[in-house]
Structure 1
């Protein structure tokens, strides 16, 4: 990054961004600058009888909530036969806090059957993704989602993405406010350009934000080139880190006194993404920043976003996340910049303590006497497979019982607002479709997550979603043999180092390097407040479980006070672990 004195003073609209730093910005920066506030030629290309969009629009369409992808399973056969790639699109909804109505869920389900690949996916950021949409059906998908009073605007792209929040059913007014602030932040930071409504909603205004007038600045927060990179925000309930607060660009941890929300402690600068072979890229945890009142929360969040807008790296997208601004300039500099823009001083951050990462599974009674049922969804993929007819079952349950859906940061689903008298009937209906209401039936997979990876993600270099079930099954067998089957172990796998399933947190992280080759990370904690660390590089798929087996044995025999697997690895240290593992192999 350029030194501060090399930068022009940022404008209030943030429109001078390409002058920041050296050069003219990355290619993506040029695309954004010339896009006419996200319009590009999307409308024109949607009308062409082609299977895909041009290269520039592949970047631009992300701001509208969609990724152009291909079915990579067909790549070789189609190339051999002289056919073009099997292009398709993924559409992601923006769902602040992961709360959707029964009707909104049914619409998503309908779209997967009508124009998708017949599966629906819960993301690690409490959203829905529909895969397998062809270009000719893209307008229908996004338009239909908006008719249900949801949106796809800013679900992707160089803007603030879906705002996470603890999804547990309301237990108090304070908890309701925690979920409301997530919604307020999401709508406040949504792009103001009319482009989205012109293209997808036939010129109509959105239900959630008002388009600006002709004499107003088009993007008063983002400016002409939006943010240097994606931006992520989460709002946590005290004590429960179910949204991985330290992985966010901005994390707000609620401060509650006498069942009243009095403010938030902010942490900033988290992020998971890295790049193999580039030491300057790495995952980072968010750092304590400041305490704010409820009234200050929105203006402070906006101001932090503008600092990233003006000082984030626009030359190198691999170095463009706010975590690097925070790391390299420091919290004192960042806080002073925010305070100067706000015109007042921020309070120092209070200590934050998380005692659990609650997956909210199983039956839980709500404050109003009704019930909520949390269901484990393997890798968030809602589909029918053999005797587990998850997709058909959820549709039937939704039509009959009309529950509110709440999506979790672990890709699971909570069915909320179930009356006491309907509990037994709902359980009976679930069992008809092979769906268990007992979270213990998930076994070791209860705390496992994977990104989609192959065949749809263009960044994937290895399998993830399709492979992790088999890996976990092997690990679970080893744990059972050691008498550790009931222990809580988090396992997270991604097909590339970008970290969508947050593999650098938790007990075990598996990050794809190439086909059937993974880096193995160990030593996080069950509350997800500590990064894990690279333990072994280039582990073949078949060697993942055997590599872990002796470590599980050491853990069983040497742990202290029921410490978790990650805590044990962290305490012992990798040098000693590797020495013990080598001795174990020699003896074996």
Structure 2
């Protein structure tokens, strides 16, 4: 067993933060700077916001002896990714007023605002709450936005799955009143707040925690990338329970072999009425045994690998007071979304739109925000975000469908059914210029990369073949790059590590193939492999399976086997 080490600075900060209050209000009131104090910047994450700055402007502002162009990313907590047309319009108004005219759909099925100035931060968060949404626990060392399979036309179970996502999210929320005091002018308690966090304690979790619910055969949420994954098991269109998977996570650090992505392991089955109990106790085990001295080693995946899966299961069942049942059979077939119009058995229509990198803004080519604003004014159903950064306009009435089609045409909204299979399955993180961790471009580079790779797949006769492409500006894994059949991870400006060989259904990690490649080198390296795949693939063989079979990379199923860049 590892010797107990001194807690990290972040742990000490959380302990003295007075349940996440810190000096946030004082920092917000300081008009001399666009930033908050370093400690408050860390605590703000628990409130759903990150302090950032425009890195495109850093050098010029430094030359002019100005502080960085600080702004804040604000993330909405939206379990299952569902919002009403009214909520859409309220978020759109906030984006236009405070968020540089842009909304971004994240890979965790929610919205982010970027570039919010400090003086607008309280108004933005209060506005989100006015829309009957909030930002608490969207970031920080707590359970974050719960994602789930939510395609309403693919299964009669989607409403039940979505309901459980909401229950999980609410059940695992922090109880501190700090959020309401700071952002909503809630009543303050004199002196030291006499409150407790019955689940999290005063230091919360060692690191972030992510939960997702998948519904086979669709692994559209990448359930094995979650700290805690629930795989819904149904019989005769009735939900009978969930397989429980633990220990997934995408983040790692370049040059640090002790860090690695890991797939969650299925450890058993529980009935629906025991779902919340299982989730709460998994969180409690991680709270008590997670590494609080080294944040790079603090996720649940390392707790399990350090102590062993049998130990973790025994500890969990000891706390539950009962044993998980044996896992039930299941099978995944894909990780993507289905695009275009579909009508369900009730006669309602559902439209899935492809949105590259999830970025919604008006451009000369496509007026995304305006189009969706106008659609929200006539739509009576709901909007559903996907973890693949796409959007479902759901539950459209027959009479409303022509109006929506006309608006899509007027504002030049692309039909993703006509996209290449590669573009349909491409993800990217934000990266530059706003993310402070980014080492290379991602979102801004993805269109250029696709424009260069798509002709290679077309030449090989593979234009419509579904192939997962994941691009991330750093190794932290927000775009889930280690589950891409082609994964590109930023190493330095203009340089990427190329990973190949993940399973199309999300059940196998990829493996490092080449390191430190420029854009030209990425394309030149992939060109012969794509041509080889076009010539020699087996019937229905995926690209990831092919590169393993052809010997380009070895199969990787366990995090500790993962090959990383130097």
Q: How does 1:217-236 map to 2 (within 5 A)?
A: 218-236=196-214
Q: Report whether the alignment pairs 1:364 with 2:342.
A: yes
Is the alpha carbon distance of 1:40 and 1:423 closer, same or farther for their aligned partners in structure 2, counting shifts above 3 Å?
same
Q: Which moved more, 1:534-543 or 1:273-282?
A: 534-543
Q: Distance between the aligned counterparts of 1:532 and 1:103, measured in 2?
A: 41
Q: Which moved more, 1:363-372 or 1:65-74?
A: 363-372
The answer for the alignment partner of 2:97 in structure 1 is 114
The answer for the alignment partner of 1:511 in structure 2 is 489
Name the SS for the 1:518 alignment partner. strand
Q: Report whether the alignment pairs 1:352 with 2:330.
A: yes
What's the CA shift string for 1:335-376, capped at 9, x where partnerless?
110111111122122233112224032112234220110000
What's the CA shift string for 1:510-565, capped at 9, x where partnerless?
00000110000000122111111111011112221111010011111111113111
Q: Distance between the aligned counterparts of 2:157 and 2:367, measured in 1?
A: 37
Q: Report whether the alignment pairs 1:36 with 2:14.
A: no
Q: Distance between the aligned counterparts of 1:55 and 1:259, measured in 2?
A: 51
The answer for the alignment partner of 2:66 in structure 1 is 83
Q: Report whether the alignment pairs 1:27 with 2:9.
A: yes
Q: Kindly indicate whether the alpha-carbon contact (under 8 Å) linking 1:70 and 1:87 is maintained by their aligned counterparts in 2.
A: yes
Q: Kindly indicate whether the alpha-carbon contact (under 8 Å) linking 2:380 and 2:397 is maintained by their aligned counterparts in 1.
A: no
Equivalent of 1:146 in 122, 126, 129: 129
The answer for the alignment partner of 2:234 in structure 1 is 256
What's the CA shift string for 1:289-316, capped at 9, x where partnerless?
1100111110111000000001111111
Name the SS for the 2:212 alignment partner. strand
The answer for the alignment partner of 1:432 in structure 2 is 410
What's the CA shift string for 1:1-47, capped at 9, x where partnerless?
x54xx6xxxxxxxxxxxxxx221x11111111110000111112211
The answer for the alignment partner of 2:560 in structure 1 is none
Q: Kindly indicate whether the alpha-carbon contact (under 8 Å) linking 2:290 and 2:298 is maintained by their aligned counterparts in 1.
A: yes
Q: Kindly indicate whether the alpha-carbon contact (under 8 Å) linking 2:511 and 2:554 is maintained by their aligned counterparts in 1.
A: no
The answer for the alignment partner of 1:47 in structure 2 is 29
Structure 1 residue 574 displacement after superposition: 2.2
Equivalent of 1:309 in 262, 278, 287: 287
The answer for the alignment partner of 1:583 in structure 2 is none
Q: Kindly indicate whether the alpha-carbon contact (under 8 Å) linking 2:249 and 2:301 is maintained by their aligned counterparts in 1.
A: yes
Is the alpha carbon distance of 1:462 and 1:157 closer, same or farther for their aligned partners in structure 2, counting shifts above 3 Å?
same
Q: Kindly indicate whether the alpha-carbon contact (under 8 Å) linking 1:311 and 1:325 is maintained by their aligned counterparts in 2.
A: yes
Q: Distance between the aligned counterparts of 2:368 and 2:380, measured in 1?
A: 16
Name the SS for the 1:388 alignment partner. coil
Structure 1 residue 54 displacement after superposition: 0.2
The answer for the alignment partner of 1:208 in structure 2 is none
Is the alpha carbon distance of 1:537 and 1:302 closer, same or farther for their aligned partners in structure 2, counting shifts above 3 Å?
same
Structure 1 residue 567 displacement after superposition: 1.0
Q: Distance between the aligned counterparts of 1:405 and 1:141, measured in 2?
A: 21
What's the CA shift string for 1:270-289, capped at 9, x where partnerless?
00000000000000000011
Q: Kindly indicate whether the alpha-carbon contact (under 8 Å) linking 1:371 and 1:419 is maintained by their aligned counterparts in 2.
A: yes
Q: Which moved more, 1:552-561 or 1:51-60?
A: 552-561
Equivalent of 2:512 in 523, 534, 545: 534
After the TM superposition, list the runs of 4 or more consecutive aligned residues in structure 1 that deviate by more than 4 angstroms.
170-173, 214-217
Equivalent of 2:265 in 256, 278, 287: 287
Equivalent of 1:501 in 450, 468, 479: 479
Equivalent of 1:67 in 47, 50, 53: 50
CA RMSD in angstroms, aligned pairs only: 1.9
Is the alpha carbon distance of 1:556 and 1:441 closer, same or farther for their aligned partners in structure 2, counting shifts above 3 Å?
closer
Is the alpha carbon distance of 1:370 and 1:331 closer, same or farther for their aligned partners in structure 2, counting shifts above 3 Å?
same
Q: Report whether the alignment pairs 1:162 with 2:140.
A: no
Structure 1: tracts of 5 or more residues without a match: 7-20, 206-210, 578-588
Q: Kindly indicate whether the alpha-carbon contact (under 8 Å) linking 2:371 and 2:411 is maintained by their aligned counterparts in 1.
A: yes
The answer for the alignment partner of 1:17 in structure 2 is none
Q: Kindly indicate whether the alpha-carbon contact (under 8 Å) linking 1:509 and 1:522 is maintained by their aligned counterparts in 2.
A: yes
Q: Distance between the aligned counterparts of 1:433 and 1:170, measured in 2?
A: 26
Q: Distance between the aligned counterparts of 2:187 and 2:104, measured in 1?
A: 28
Structure 2: tracts of 5 or more residues without a match: 556-566
Q: Kindly indicate whether the alpha-carbon contact (under 8 Å) linking 2:226 and 2:247 is maintained by their aligned counterparts in 1.
A: yes
Q: Distance between the aligned counterparts of 1:94 and 1:67, measured in 2?
A: 14
Q: Distance between the aligned counterparts of 2:330 and 2:302, measured in 1?
A: 23
Name the SS for the 1:227 alignment partner. coil
Q: Report whether the alignment pairs 1:340 with 2:318.
A: yes
Q: Distance between the aligned counterparts of 1:486 and 1:173, measured in 2?
A: 29
Q: TM-score, normalised by structure 1?
A: 0.91
Q: Kindly indicate whether the alpha-carbon contact (under 8 Å) linking 1:376 and 1:442 is maintained by their aligned counterparts in 2.
A: no
Equivalent of 1:182 in 165, 178, 184: 165
What's the CA shift string for 1:365-395, capped at 9, x where partnerless?
2342201100000100001122211111111
Q: Report whether the alignment pairs 1:484 with 2:462.
A: yes
Q: Distance between the aligned counterparts of 1:464 and 1:339, measured in 2?
A: 42
Q: Distance between the aligned counterparts of 2:280 and 2:345, measured in 1?
A: 33
Structure 1 residue 421 displacement after superposition: 2.7
Q: Report whether the alignment pairs 1:275 with 2:234.
A: no
Q: Kindly indicate whether the alpha-carbon contact (under 8 Å) linking 2:336 and 2:425 is maintained by their aligned counterparts in 1.
A: no
Equivalent of 2:83 in 95, 100, 116: 100
Is the alpha carbon distance of 1:328 and 1:79 closer, same or farther for their aligned partners in structure 2, counting shifts above 3 Å?
same
What's the CA shift string for 1:418-440, capped at 9, x where partnerless?
11232233112101111034522
Name the SS for the 2:286 alignment partner. helix
Structure 1 residue 172 displacement after superposition: 6.0
The answer for the alignment partner of 1:567 in structure 2 is 545
Q: Which moved more, 1:400-409 or 1:123-132?
A: 400-409
The answer for the alignment partner of 2:558 in structure 1 is none
Equivalent of 1:451 in 429, 443, 465: 429
